[in-house]
Structure 1
Amino acid sequence: MPARARRVAVCCGSRAWTRPFSDLMTKITGILLAFLVAIPSLGMLAVATLMNPSAVSCTVLADLSVGPIPDSLTARTRDGQSITIDRQQLTHAATIITVGAHTAGVGPTGVLIALMAGLTESTLRMLANPSAYPTSVEFPNDGIGSDHDSLGIFQMRPTAGWGGVADLMDPSYQARAFYGGPSGPNNGSPRGLLDFVGWQTLDPGVAAQAVEVSAHPNRYQNYQPVAEEVLRALTRAPTPSAADPHVPETSRIVFPLPDGTYTFASPFGWRTDPFTGKRTFHEGSDLAAAGGTPILAIADGVVAFAGPRGGYGNLIIIEHTVDGQPVASFYAHMWDMGIHVAVGNTVVAGQHIADVGSAGRSTGTHLHLEIHPGGATQPPVDAVQWLAAHDAKGLEGESIVPAGCVPTGR
């Protein structure tokens, strides 16, 4: 666990399009791609500072909010082939959509292009490649691939600079790398979608090829109808009769503060209350960190609460589905301007959702974290132990999903 010393703080967190391109179109595709490659300075975007949410903040598009994930979906490719996608593949699609929703400049068109690429390269499966990288099978995967040294949903190659094995076996990282741009992990090399000026004016298949640089550039258009159907199915608004919003199964669990930024302060359990001096039960785990340190969502989920609440000062509650069961995570003591999500926002694991502060019943800057298996109304458990039991990954700066939605009117 991270060890750099910080001021110790404690709190009392009481709960108070039909056929492949013609030869002519193929020539046009080649000309367009040659132009983009020959003039890279036109294709590069400025690199923003990852830890500065204002540099990359955006409003999450309502039409990219992921809803219920069906058990399967059947659609036809442009050449008439029927393809059925299962729930796991659709879960990866949901991650691609959600990351796109929180990446400035992507929008529905960019998400569609990413889905076309993922369907073409792997049929939206996270593929390991033990012949090239034996350790890749140690990460969660949906099968084995064998295309050179390619890995994952978008079949990205470590030798091409897309990232390491651990990076490329992470669906969220692969989506961020595909989109690229200021918040992408590769600083424009290799180039993601946003690193190509004018990508919005290209045929979606041409745009996908610009990122993938495939030896078979005309494949992507074939999957556009399937990608469109996936996007419609996963972002369809829930029916008015639905009692509660469906929270998709999370793709991973991460630690809520970046590696090297915190120390453990006050644990879960009985302790002496720092304000009253009495013996009380502390329902969270306190992680001391400097003010402004990014707070990360521990898992994919939906924001259920974001704002002031009693002794918590300011509080964020996120609802998750972990191993098929509901779980709620609480993040407390942020200052008033330290919240970067709003109720109803869909977030991804490792997303910068808030900044460490010291509001409410707090003696110094820190994160008070609670984990409630069963949902927000159920009793909490030891958050640190729960994270360890679920193999939570610590993230460094380049792996953090930037803040994507800053609430207005705060």
Structure 2
Amino acid sequence: MWASLLPVGRDPESGGYRRFVWTAPELECRAWFLDEARRRDLEVERDRNGNLFAWWYPEGIDPSVKGVLTGSHLDSVPGGGAFDGPLGVVSAFAAIDLLRERRVRPDRPIGIGAFAEEEGARFGVACLGSRLLSGAIDPGRARGLTDGDGRSFAEVAAENGIDPDTIGPDEELLGRIGCYVELHVEQGRALTDPVGVASSIVPHGRWRFDFAGEGNHAGTTRLADRRDPMLAFARMVLAAREAAERNETVATVGKVHVTPGGVNAIPSSVAAWLDSRGPVDDAVRRTVAEIHEAARAGAGAHGVTVDLAEESYTEVVDFNLDLRDRVVKALGGVPVLPTGAGHDAGILASRMPTAMVFVRNPTGVSHAPSEFAEEDDCLAGVEALATVLNDLACG
């Protein structure tokens, strides 16, 4: 399974992946998911928001009994690694294979989910599929989200068989899920054992800064006559590092659009996206406020304007203590650690008990081609997931 997914959406030069939701590589991943589900005679379901599910209903089980859901996502960040997301989906299929080989008969359904637009790389809001399913985002706002080509979520969803008028919370589907356990490669170096369990997800969000100045000729416009938004933007980037250090958070400016983007033209506008995360909400909010103040000061000094918009924010998520402790116990007392990365399990935590199992990442690198996990650790993750599913779905 792993080998069959590796070439999909991979840049042969950088080794990074580009699997944006409803683009050809991500659609190929979706087809792979459906093929793997049907090979196992799992019941396939696509919800009104574009999320995929595959359910194992052993003979004699009442389908109305709340099931145990596992899985992750198949999309990627630009130039991402192979493990972030797909490892959880592949491991879920493999864990069901193990349970069947061992003749385990669950007392409740077991499902595998592949959530749409988890990275937010195309439409700008992370975990969009699980946000829509759980009611964490207004459907009207989601319909109006646009990609880099100016195409709306509603338009692209409709082209892929999703009725944009019906997106949003699905209470019937949510009512069939008793809990969700997501396996994921760890995105840092904190885990030294092969597997661990998440305690919480730290507060995190995304903000857009729009700087507007005046486009002009790079050679004939005197410095004193310029209204260059790049200068205010540069101050904002430096302020992000300074504010993060003061508040013991992290802040990253990893995406910027410059208009018109000519070498010999002073930009007329700059759009920049800020990602900030930290141990507590107040620290993150304070970081963003300080960056905004520096951006305004820089804008004022150079005759430009700046607007700030919050695109998404998730407060601290403490995973369900009872479920977390049950998972840790089933795995024999593995390490418990927080994470600075957002996940669908964090969004769904508002609607059901959720937990996360991490697989060790020896490099600590994620969202980059060198993201890695050893095969033995991945297999240990499959064993761990099968053990957890056995514990939660049997008896």
Structure that is richer in helix per residue:
2
Structure that is richer in strand per residue:
2
Is the shorter-chain TM-score for this pair beyond 0.5, marking a shared fold? Answer: no
| TM-score category of the 2 structures, normalised to the smaller one | under 0.3
> Under a length normalisation based on structure 2, what TM-score does the superposition of the two structures give?
0.24
